[in-house]
Every structure is written in structure tokens, then in C-alpha cells.
Structure 1
Amino acid sequence: MNKFGLTDEVLDSQIVETKQEIDKKCECCAGDMDFDPSTGGLLCPFCGHK
């Protein structure tokens, strides 16, 4: 238990939920989309889909 009273299991589950919430999948190839600063949108590094 940490200083906030949370166990490692609780913290791990929160990290997984957060990652699932922010990871966007490409419609074309299901790869993880990356932020493209030149357009301000998302870009798939695998197939180039925007």
C-alpha cells in the first residue's frame, strides 16, 4: 500500500484504463495513432491514415 492508501493492483488497473482511453486505433489497419503536430490531428505511423 502506498502513502495514499492504494494498492499496486489498484494503481495498475488505473494505468491500463487510462492507456485504453487515450490510445486511438487506426480505422484502416488498427495500429495505434500518433499525434501529428503539423496538422494538429492524428496520423497512423503504419499506413499513413489521417
Structure 2
Amino acid sequence: MKRAGNSEENKKVRKMFFKQKLKNSFWRNIVSLYKAYRKLERILDDWYTIAI
């Protein structure tokens, strides 16, 4: 039985998976921030044109 070796492998895989998940959520956050910024920019643009 190779239980010990198997658990080490599982740890490695889990760590890789976690890193990948973290990276994905990081990029998703950047994208959502960018979208929010664009929306805000549009709103401010509208306000600016209304003010003038």
C-alpha cells in the first residue's frame, strides 16, 4: 500500500488546484473592477455633459 506517497501527491495536486483557483479569481476581480470603472466613467461623463 502506498498511502503516504499518495497523500503527498494529493497535497501537491490540491495546492496546484488552489493556486489556479486563486489566479482565476484574481483575474476575475481585475476584470470586474475594470467594468465597474468603465461604468463609473460613463456615469461621470453623462453628469459632465448635463452640468455643461
| TM-score for the superposition, normalised by structure 2 | 0.37
Structure number, greater radius of gyration = 2
The structure whose residues are more often helix, as a share, is 2
| TM-score for the superposition, normalised by structure 1 | 0.38
